Structure 1
């Protein structure tokens, strides 16, 4: 039984999605970005995913989202518990 040799240039869709996600957070290296670009030329589905990913990142940046602090979460939890006990 022969094992299929893994290509260093071409990536499958699963790897492309991982690279796309890493690229979104500036964690992908140059070689990975090149491999992703090549894959996106050949794969319409991943190209659409990459485009949607970019739009989502842009929207999140523009929205200036902020998370609640631990204290704020605990305060909300207490209010919800007291209201639901009534």
Structure 2
């Protein structure tokens, strides 16, 4: 019975990624936690993966606050440079 709950490190990382986005099933979560009992590397991978996701989400929120449009003057300068390149 417990053999069905044993997973490889590759399977653990896949479940970790799914779990992060709320796509892992209860059985997968149980398998992952049992795997953590004997594998510190996968446990560390999960912590680091979660930390990276938090950083990227924060960065994405900050980027959404910045207005990324050119001013009219910048657009005209760009148009002129494009015309020069074409000529």
The TM-score with structure 1 as length reference comes to: 0.64
Aligned to 2:53: 57
Q: Which residue of 2 aligns with 1:74?
A: none
**Larger C-alpha radius of gyration, 1 or 2?**
2
> What is the root-mean-square deviation of aligned Cα atoms in Å?
1.9
Aligned residues: 64
Gaps of 5+ in 2: 65-77
Q: What SS does the corresponding residue of 1:32 show, helix, strand or coil?
A: helix
**Stretch deviating more after TM superposition (26-35 or 57-66):** 57-66
- The whole-number CA distance in structure 1 between the counterparts of 2:19 and 2:54 is 13
Runs of 4+ with >6 A deviation: none
Larger helix proportion of the pair: 2
TM value normalised by structure 2: 0.64
Tell me the alpha carbon deviations over residues 32-83 of structure 1, each in whole angstroms, 9 at most, x when there is no partner. 01110111121011111101111011112222255xxxxxxxxxxxx7xx5x
Unaligned runs of 5+ in 1: 1-6, 67-78
Corresponding position: 1:26 with 2:42? no
